[in-house]
Structure 1
């Protein structure tokens, strides 16, 4: 059985290596400063992809700003204030269910709610709100587990010194849990960057440099989909895919760095 387990792990790793190698071999020839910082030309199939990079980072940052306060406050309520009962169980069940909703469904809901009903149109704001709904359960559940992992005796010591409930939560619990909370936020950002269906229905496909949240744009995932679907410049599609993979890998490595750093600090203390 140990051999079976090892074989399963090797197969999983080999599949990942093959995918990365395939994209890297086809995408490296087009990678250059002109490709990264240049503007699309012709029918948006030639030239660089700089506007798509800006749109991707713009909408992801906006979604993070919308999602993080709501998710963290909800997690604080569940972990510190709520009495365990049907309401808390239902909230956790709703969060777990929300995290399993397919992205295409979230994109259709975002289009119906934010683009049409609320009148934001195909814009950064509509896409950010839809992405925030997708990121919220990840950040919320990660934050709740991080808060629960803070030792109880730290709270007892603060209460013994006369601190109030909110002082304990804001000054002691949240700072102690911050490394794990940051890890969850970074992982949620990495997932949001790679989403296609959500932004396809809520942001649009305009090649421009967005300035305000109500501007439209084209993220890297949509640009990649258009290039590959139409087959007009497959080399640029592979280059976009490679750069997108590198961005997601960077976010995941940053999350691992934060997690390991927090673990080493805990051991040191």
Structure 2
């Protein structure tokens, strides 16, 4: 059992992570999962949650927190009429379908497999954030269907496996096809809702009846962590939106990319 000192530091770390996750949700159009998943993984380790379910609960709980965070961020961006609502409508089936596939995978993959998935994709995203250039282009407009639907499904699947809101991947997709970065950020917040809401249901189903789940968990969702993190995330999301519309984010992208690379290295080390 963790000591009282460890619990105090754990609560402080979770409070800080929740605040940063909310700010990043507004700033980058992401749900903050890249912050939340490592924080939850360490938290559940201190609480002696078995390794077999620890990563699954971290990812599922992250998605549960992202539901209100992404919704608050999207509504804030929508007030500025910045999101591509047409793309969101087109992806209302494709993205949740990808999330459904992720839930099926999560129900059968091991903890090491989940950590490997998170580490590899985080590594690639970190490299993308550090090396990204605004003038990189694949085309002048988004591709049509079926490619657009396939991309939506892939974003939904990969994001749900990582416990993230899909912002970094959608930002990359939209900006590579000539869309303004602020429109990509605003649209990503809406995609976070399309990922996290069905993801919450999917991870409840995937973890139903699993042994070793922490106290007050439903499937792979731990409601104690959700109750603590969600309010802080929602509180700081509008601040991130305000900064996103007033600041050149290149230096922040580099800093966030370095953070992602550090997180990836930590999970790769845990697999050795």
Establish whether TM, by shorter chain, passes 0.5: no
Give the structure, 1 or 2, with the largest relative contact order (CA under 8 Å, sep 6 or more).
2
